[in-house]
Amino acid sequence: MPEARMSQLLDLLMQSERTTERFYMGLVEMFLHEPTAAAVWWEMAAEEALHVWLLEKAREAVAAAGHLDAPVDPALLEEAQRLAAFSPEKLWARIQNLEDAYQAAHEVEGMEFDALLEPILLDIFPGDIRNRLARSQLDRHQDPLKQLRTKEWRLSVEARRPEEVTIALR
């Protein structure tokens, strides 16, 4: 098996962030009829787009330093591959209402955090700083979800089905 390289890791991370952005854009489409929800999903998608841009800048910096071929922990690359294989379509298929979308968003954010952010933080920061930073990053990612009110309200907002979304986009 070839050695895991920094270029591979960065490529997978960018792919994962683009897929997560696409997931949230799909939720925007599913909830266009509910402006509060659509705005939350738009904000979440924008955050993912920012991550893509940051990763592109990181790749440029790593390339300029001549470190794209630097070895990386194979376990980290494996986690990145798992995350990059995420399928928004599978999650979209099970979303019937805003509560389902809310739960799916928590799942996606937790998956990103567990697979990548936490391991990277573990390698870089001392314990007390790492714990505060990790918590603040997870909170920041999930803060927009607080705008989605109560569970009862979320259950009352039905999702537009994919065929409705496709028709609306034509």
- Which whole-number Å values give the CA distances from 122 to 42, 84, 142, 152, 165, in the listed order? 30, 21, 21, 38, 41
Query: Domain for residue 1, yes or no?
Result: no
Taking residues 129-154, what's their average pLDDT?
Answer: 71
Residue 97: inside a domain: yes
Going along the chain, which residue ranges are E strands?
Answer: none
Give the SS3 label for residue 91. Answer: helix
For 37-46, how does the pLDDT look when each residue is reduced to its tens digit (9 = 90+)? 999 999 999 9
If one counts the domains in the chain, the total is 1
Residue 116 pLDDT class (50, 70, 90 cuts): low
d(CA 160, CA 95): 9
Domain enclosing residue 96, as ranges: 6-169
Q: Is residue 84 part of a domain?
A: yes
**C-alpha distances in Å from residue 32, one per residue of 43, 51, 99, 104, 135:** 13, 24, 15, 17, 31
Question: Does position 168 have pLDDT exceeding 50, yes or no?
Answer: no
Residue 136 CA to residue 35 CA, distance in Å, equals 27
